[in-house]
């Protein structure tokens, strides 16, 4: 099961080996501007997200080549001798990642300044472009993460999901992932008495936030609950009033099943459209070492794919009759995607994206059932 919102795939094949690059953040990549300041404040060390690369060759954790470039909104980031970016927003660092018996040192980027401002209240992009050598051949790849920047109205709210110890990936059998939610008010402070309900993979029944390992409004899932990728929704309440809904994802890196997303015939799921253009995403579940649908093209094991579309503000798009034959939503906002040759597909166009805040996020859930 998979989410497009903060999960980006890059796949290259060389002598039967599949390369999977992904950018992961240890804190929510969401920030709001309240007309005076940014919420949360990323100049405070405890609030700063760190984005790091995970790279798998087949099912094995590997390190990229030492020559690579970070990008912010398609502009290469330059760093001084201390690893601070020229614009003062980022710090170059590393992250130790362990999967099974393999530990790798991965490139990482810490956000140390506020991206939200009166002039910046839309989606930002962080990208990593690098290489990995397979059998003497350097294979280039790109991984991308989105930072959602929104405007917080007076008396507005922002809900943020963070992970205990910054761990959001499953790398071994039986592992648990603990996450917790914080609701901020328009003054930038956490809202006293706010509560949460947590939903796994579009479930209709939620789990109330609890105090776990000292973290309040927390939720925990185990490795057995995740197949490749799990999507979690957190609803924030003040009293009985729903104030905000946030989404996050947990990746099971050691699970052999893997959801592929292909954009216009090439691997990768980040598209930029100009006026009049259409993107086609093909989605299917294979394994990390074999990019063909499990069960075959005619009888795929995963028979049903549903997508939840979010607009530029992170709100569920409930509109019917979207262009390019995008299916209509059910009462919860999920749209069942059509299938072709064992793969699901969706074809958003520029007009649809432009009319919904100029950004479109798709959260995809695959099921082995026929409905």
Please write the tens of the pLDDT for every residue from 5-47: 223 323 344 443 467 788 989 888 999 999 889 999 999 999 9
Give residue-wise pLDDT tens across range 215-268: 999 999 988 888 767 889 999 999 999 999 998 888 787 777 888 888 766 556
Q: CB of 126 within 8 A of CB of 71?
A: yes
How far is Cα 184 from Cα 235, in angstroms, rounded to an integer? 13
- Is this structure's pTM higher than 0.75? no
pLDDT > 50? residue 101: yes
Segment among 21-35, 74-88, 207-221 with least mean pLDDT: 21-35
Q: What is the mean pLDDT of residues 281-299?
A: 85
Q: What is the mean pLDDT of residues 60-79?
A: 93
Q: What is the mean pLDDT of residues 129-137?
A: 82
3-state SS class at 225: helix
Give residue-wise pLDDT tens across range 156-202: 899 999 999 888 888 888 889 999 999 999 888 999 999 999 999 88
Q: What is the mean pLDDT of residues 289-300?
A: 84
3-state secondary structure 64-111: CCCCCEEEECCEECCECCCCEECCCCEEEEEEEEEECCEEEEEEEEEE
Residue 18: per-residue pLDDT = 66
Q: What is the mean pLDDT of residues 349-370?
A: 84
Average pLDDT value for the chain: 85
Residue 2: per-residue pLDDT = 34
Give residue-wise pLDDT tens across range 308-317: 888 888 888 9
Q: What is the mean pLDDT of residues 259-278?
A: 75
Question: Which residues lie closer than 8 Å to 136 by C-beta, 6 or more apart?
Answer: none
The DSSP 8-state label assigned to residue 57 in this structure reads E
3-state SS class at 145: strand
Percent of the chain with pLDDT over 70: 92
pLDDT > 50? residue 154: yes
Band (pLDDT 50/70/90 cuts) for residue 4 is very low
Residue 94: per-residue pLDDT = 96
Higher pLDDT, 310 or 273: 310
Residue 8: per-residue pLDDT = 31
Give residue-wise pLDDT tens across range 105-120: 999 999 999 999 998 8
Q: CB of 283 within 8 A of CB of 260?
A: yes
Higher pLDDT, 56 or 288: 56
């Amino acid at each position: 099961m998979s989410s497009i919102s903060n999960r980006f795939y890059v796949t290259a094949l060389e002598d039967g080996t599949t390369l999977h690059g992904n950018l992961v953040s240890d804190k929510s990549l969401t920030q709001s501007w309240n007309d005076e300041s940014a919420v949360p404040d990323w100049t405070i060390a405890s609030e700063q997200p760190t984005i790091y690369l995970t790279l798998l060759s087949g099912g094995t954790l590997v390190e990229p080549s030492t020559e690579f470039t970070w990008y912010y909104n398609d502009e290469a980031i330059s760093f001084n001798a201390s690893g601070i970016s020229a614009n003062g927003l980022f710090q170059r660092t590393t992250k130790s990642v362990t999967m099974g018996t393999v530990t790798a040192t991965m490139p990482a980027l810490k956000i140390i300044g506020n991206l939200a401002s009166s002039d910046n209240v839309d989606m930002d992009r962080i990208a990593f472009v690098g290489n990995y050598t397979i059998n003497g051949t350097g294979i280039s790849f790109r991984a991308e993460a989105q930072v959602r920047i929104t405007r917080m109205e007076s008396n507005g709210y922002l809900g943020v999901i963070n992970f205990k110890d910054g761990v959001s990936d499953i790398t071994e059998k039986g592992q648990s992932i603990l996450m917790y939610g914080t609701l901020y008010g328009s003054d930038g402070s956490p809202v006293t008495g706010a509560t949460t309900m947590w939903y796994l993979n579009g479930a209709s029944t939620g789990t109330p936030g609890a105090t776990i390992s000292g973290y309040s409004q927390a939720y925990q899932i185990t490795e057995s609950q995740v197949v490749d990728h799990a999507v979690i929704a957190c609803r924030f309440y003040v009293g009985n009033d729903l104030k905000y809904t946030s989404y996050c994802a947990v990746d099971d890196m050691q699970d052999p099943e893997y959801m592929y997303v292909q954009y216009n015939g090439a691997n990768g799921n980040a598209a930029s459209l100009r006026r009049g253009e259409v993107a086609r995403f093909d989605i299917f579940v294979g394994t990390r070492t074999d990019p063909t649908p499990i069960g075959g093209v005619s009888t795929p094991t995963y028979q049903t794919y549903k997508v939840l579309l979010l607009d530029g503000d992170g709100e569920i798009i409930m509109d019917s009759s979207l262009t390019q034959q995008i299916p209509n939503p059910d009462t919860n906002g999920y749209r069942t995607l059509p299938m072709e040759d064992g793969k699901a597909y969706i074809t958003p166009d520029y007009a649809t994206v432009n009319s919904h805040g100029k950004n479109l996020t798709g959260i995809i859930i695959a099921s082995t059932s026929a409905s």
